Amino acid sequence: MRLDFQKTIASSQATLPVVGSIALLLWVLIPNRQSALSFLEADYGLWRYIPSFLFKGYWSVGLSAFFAALAVYLMAELNNSNVLLRVSSRMLGSMLAFLLAFALVCHSLQPGSVVMLLSLLSFFPLFAIYQLPHPGFTFISYLFISVASLLFPKMLCVVPVYWFIQGYLRALSFRCFVASLLAVVLPYWFYGGVALLTGTLPDFLAHIEALTHYEWGDYTQLPMKDLLTFSFTVLLFLSGSIDFYLNRFLDKTRTRILYNVVIMHGVYVILFISLQPQYFVTLLPLLLIDTAITFGHFFTLTHTRFSHIYNLILLILALAIMALSFMPSSWIHSISFS
């Protein structure tokens, strides 16, 4: 029997509205256990100054859903502007909507929501400079990363990766390198000036110190649900990446280069989370971007009997992991690492 559900879902114009509606429903029905108190340390920079009432009730759910919807829209635009898929499909945006609904840590207002948006925005000028050293686009791309680091200082660790990626894109010149440095420094120049004028210089210095302060991650404080979410996301990322490399000859050269960039970025985020699991909640949305692109490519363009069965198994596994969210907290703690 021939199975065409993958092709039907990937090519349908109704996929994104349907997946988006289901994601919104899950957003409202499944509460998130994350607390705003987790993000009040210096490691989260200016996020500490966000009014506390925004982290409660409908404010938190509504704002996080709004940021998620913006991210889905940006993903769709990224696909349209760079032709990341060989066929007309809204699968990349739909895949991101599904992953955001699946990752319950994204269902409340937290720094990762904004960091994800700014990272997605940085991809637009980064992809546009393929074989074209352009200081203006370079400045904009790195500026988004620097602004994101105001909310999560360790986001600046991505800058060397962007330099490597820009070199891989054959778009790194001396002028572009200087433009990237100016873009990184500019937000901190303004932040330092404001801190000096308002008497909050100690907070600014603590922010700078957070850039260089690292501790070994403690996996014992990471709940089982988060470990399962991370493992499942990595599985999807690897599945999409492996399938892309097996069938990359079908894509155009520029598309292959851009997917290599996405995979490089995803591998770095996986290593970052593995070494610093205490920032899992903030870094996971970054990995969801890369996973949506790679696995969306696999889901849209691979239509073998194996891929159909494999995707059904993944769907069942995703539903099983999400079912844990309905379990009492005492049950969750009993199966967490001690």
pLDDT digits (tens, 9 = 90+) for 69-80: 999 999 999 999
Identify the residue with better confidence: 40 or 306: 306
C-alpha pair distances (Å), 119 with each of 146, 173, 310: 10, 22, 30
- 123 pLDDT more than 50: yes
Identify the residue with better confidence: 81 or 322: 81
First to last CA, the chain: 47
- 81 pLDDT more than 70: yes
Which amino acid, residue 64?
S
CA–CA gap between residue 305 and residue 303 (Å, rounded):
7
pLDDT score at 327: 64
Domain ranges of the chain: 15-334
Average pLDDT of the chain?
Answer: 88
- 5 pLDDT more than 90: no
pLDDT score at 337: 42
Q: Read off the pLDDT of residues 197-247 as tens digits, 9 standing for 90 and up.
A: 888 888 888 888 888 877 777 777 778 888 899 999 999 999 999 999 998
Query: Residue 317, Cα to own-chain centre: how many angstroms?
Result: 21
Q: Which of 27-36, 78-87, 273-282 has the lowest mean pLDDT?
A: 27-36
